[in-house]
């Protein structure tokens, strides 16, 4: 069935026979809001392709992660097909021979849906569904589906819906019940009319959601300016999905944020106050996790939330030390950071879950300055807090100020804004040496003397 350049793996069918094949764009999916039908556990065949210059082992690892995504979305993997080829086939991504093989595997395991690890064009998706007789979706659709399940706040739901609509718009097509007449004057059938109506409806909804998210971004900008006036540094936790970011926030701030051992459990940013060992107060924010091949639609839709990353004074880049490929996860996160304009924000690399390493330290390589912690047990968190304080201080400058004795509120503001190194009593007031960030120096410039 597979030639020397093609391999396939099949898994037994865990469920009973199904009368019909239903899936993400089938009877219960499509415009209803979900790409995977959760009224029952869909049976999924996964497809991975190693293109010219790619790594077969990397493809297998990506499919393992896709299987986790499928399980999180509420479906079961029942088969897996892999292929090596020089370049994607324009019509089906994988070529006719491989499509026939996938059809055979899907019929043997009675699969409802075929999920590709690579993004399909609308034309490729349409051709695959026509040949396979069942739903064909890609990794992007699965991730969007999971985000739709987990979004709880009004902002998160708007962001996910916007991403879904942007994904669906180019994939709209006439339903089978619509007229198939040609599109000339006097011959347009109701199917063509309905397609145009659907397209306009989605475009109107997209414009409305974009306006709603712009308003939210304006509010965030006001909050950011308020934070800058209060002179509190902003530290943002970033990392691969399920690296333990929310658990770390809970460990450092006793915040009680929901923690689950599943992909994308956190979509809405959570911010808490934290006092560092030197007395500095910072705002610590947990963010949505990143993943390899993160859909462009999601990055665009979540830009208002991701502003907390680009505006941060310091990033805590949390890595699952016990994960299958920490280096690949680090690279994936840094790629997204560059994409959103946060590539130059100072970063502190934090290897989490060290309690699961059973005494075997991971090879840090170029990351020898990374900090090893366990957010579950608290091991290493004292060292992390000290490193955070040192990192934030290193970006500050030492200035000298003269504060009149009658201006006690200014003295208090200096103490809140940074770290007071020395205090001397002069005839005109307190002479201070303090380590402050640039924003605080600007705000207190009236009393800066050196």
Cβ neighbours, 10 Å, residue 183: 8
Residue recorded with tokens 């991701």: 306
Burial 236-263 (b: 16+ CB within 10 A, else e): bbbbbbbbbbbbbbbbbbebebebeeeb
Length of the chain: 450
- Residue 349 contacts residue 333 (beta carbons within 8 Å): no
Compute the half-sphere exposure of residue 51: CA atoms within 13 Å on the CB side of its CA.
Answer: 7
Max Cα-Cα span within the chain = 94
List, as own/partner pairs, every contact residues 180-189 make where C-beta atoms lie below 8 angstroms and the sequence separation is at least 24, other chains included.
Answer: none
Give, for all 450 residues of the chain, the pLDDT tens digit: 334 333 433 333 434 443 445 555 333 333 445 666 666 789 999 999 999 988 999 999 999 999 999 998 889 999 999 999 999 999 999 999 999 999 999 999 999 999 999 999 999 999 999 999 999 999 999 999 888 887 777 888 888 899 999 999 998 875 544 444 444 445 455 555 778 888 999 999 999 999 998 888 787 666 665 555 555 788 999 999 889 998 999 999 987 665 666 677 666 678 899 988 877 788 899 988 888 888 888 888 777 678 889 888 899 999 999 888 888 999 999 999 998 889 988 999 999 998 888 765 666 666 778 999 999 999 999 999 999 988 887 777 888 999 998 888 888 888 877 778 888 998 889 999 887 877 678 788 888 987
- The rounded distance, in Å, linking the Cα atoms of 307 and 63 is 31
List, in sequence order, every residue forming a beta bridge with 350; answer none if it has no partner. Answer: 318, 371
Pairing of strands 314-320, 6-10: unpaired
Strands of the 347-352 sheet, one edge to the other: 270-275, 281-286, 233-239, 314-320, 347-352, 371-372
Domain boundaries, the chain: 6-148, 231-393, 396-447
CA 420 → CA 146, 273, 283, 424, distances in Å?
48, 21, 20, 11
Q: Which CATH number fits domain 396-447: 3.90.1200, 3.30.70, 1.10.3470, 1.10.10?
A: 3.30.70
Angle formed at CA 129 by CA 125 and CA 131, multiple of 5 degrees = 120
Q: Tokens in use for 446?
A: 């009236």
- The rounded distance, in Å, linking the Cα atoms of 31 and 201 is 12
- Taking the domain 6-148, which CATH number applies? 3.40.50.11060
**Helix H or strand E encompassing 167:** helix 154-168
The pTM of the full predicted model, rounded to 2 decimals, is: 0.75
Q: Is 25 exposed, middle or buried (0-12, 13-18, 19+ CB in 10 A)?
A: buried
Domain spanning 231-393: CATH superfamily: P-loop containing nucleotide triphosphate hydrolases (3.40.50.300)
- Residue 414 contacts residue 403 (beta carbons within 8 Å): yes
- Residue 269 contacts residue 78 (beta carbons within 8 Å): no
Instruction: Say whether 231-393 and 6-148 share the same fold.
Output: yes
- Residue 431 contacts residue 450 (beta carbons within 8 Å): no
Pairing of strands 430-436, 397-403: antiparallel
Q: Tokens in use for 392?
A: 């934030």
Cβ neighbours, 10 Å, residue 296: 14
DSSP 383: H
- The rounded distance, in Å, linking the Cα atoms of 181 and 98 is 33
Q: How far does CA 99 lie from the centroid of its chain?
A: 31
Q: Tokens in use for 312?
A: 């941060």
Secondary structure of residue 355 in the 3-state scheme? helix
């Amino acid at each position: 069935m597979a030639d020397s350049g093609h391999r396939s793996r099949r898994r037994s069918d865990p469920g009973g026979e199904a009368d019909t094949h239903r899936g993400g764009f089938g009877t219960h999916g499509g415009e209803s809001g979900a790409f995977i039908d959760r009224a029952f556990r869909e049976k999924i065949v996964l497809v991975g392709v190693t293109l010219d210059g790619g790594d077969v082992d990397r493809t297998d690892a990506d499919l393992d992660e896709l299987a986790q995504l499928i399980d999180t979305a509420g479906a079961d993997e029942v088969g897996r097909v892999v292929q090596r080829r020089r370049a994607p086939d324009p019509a089906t991504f994988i070529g006719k021979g491989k499509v026939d093989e996938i059809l055979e595997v899907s019929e043997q395991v009675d699969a409802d849906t075929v999920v590709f690890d690579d993004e399909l064009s609308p034309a490729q998706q349409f051709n695959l569904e026509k040949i396979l007789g069942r739903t064909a979706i890609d990794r992007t659709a699965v991730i969007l589906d999971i985000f739709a399940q987990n979004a709880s706040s009004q902002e998160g739901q708007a962001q996910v819906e916007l991403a879904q609509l942007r994904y669906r718009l180019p994939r709209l097509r006439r339903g089978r019940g619509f007229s198939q007449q040609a599109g000339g004057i006097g011959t347009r059938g109701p199917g063509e009319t309905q397609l145009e109506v659907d397209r306009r409806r989605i475009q109107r909804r997209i414009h409305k959601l974009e306006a709603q998210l712009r308003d939210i971004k304006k509010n965030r900008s006001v909050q950011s300016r308020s934070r800058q006036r209060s002179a509190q540094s902003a530290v943002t936790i970033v990392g691969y999905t399920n690296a333990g970011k929310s658990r770390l926030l809970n460990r450092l701030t006793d915040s009680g944020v929901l923690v689950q051992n599943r992909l994308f459990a956190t979509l809405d940013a959570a911010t808490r106050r934290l006092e560092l060992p030197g007395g500095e107060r910072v705002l610590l924010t947990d963010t949505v996790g990143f993943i390899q091949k993160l859909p462009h639609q999601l990055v665009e839709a979540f830009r208002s939330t991701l502003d907390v990353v680009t505006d941060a004074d310091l990033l805590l880049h949390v890595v699952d030390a016990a994960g299958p490929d920490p280096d690949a996860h680090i690279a994936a996160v840094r790629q997204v950071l560059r994409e959103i304009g946060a590539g130059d924000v100072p970063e502190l690399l934090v290897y989490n879950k060290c309690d699961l390493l059973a005494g075997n330290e991971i090879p840090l390589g170029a990351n020898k300055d990374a900090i090893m912690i366990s957010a579950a047990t608290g091991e290493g968190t004292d060292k992390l807090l000290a490193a955070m304080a040192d990192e934030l201080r290193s970006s500050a400058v030492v200035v000298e100020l003269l504060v009149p004795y009658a201006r006690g509120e200014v003295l208090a503001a200096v103490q809140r804004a940074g770290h007071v190194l020395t205090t001397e009593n002069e005839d005109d007031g307190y002479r201070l040496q303090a380590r402050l960030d640039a924003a605080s120096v600007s705000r207190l410039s009236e009393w800066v003397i050196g």
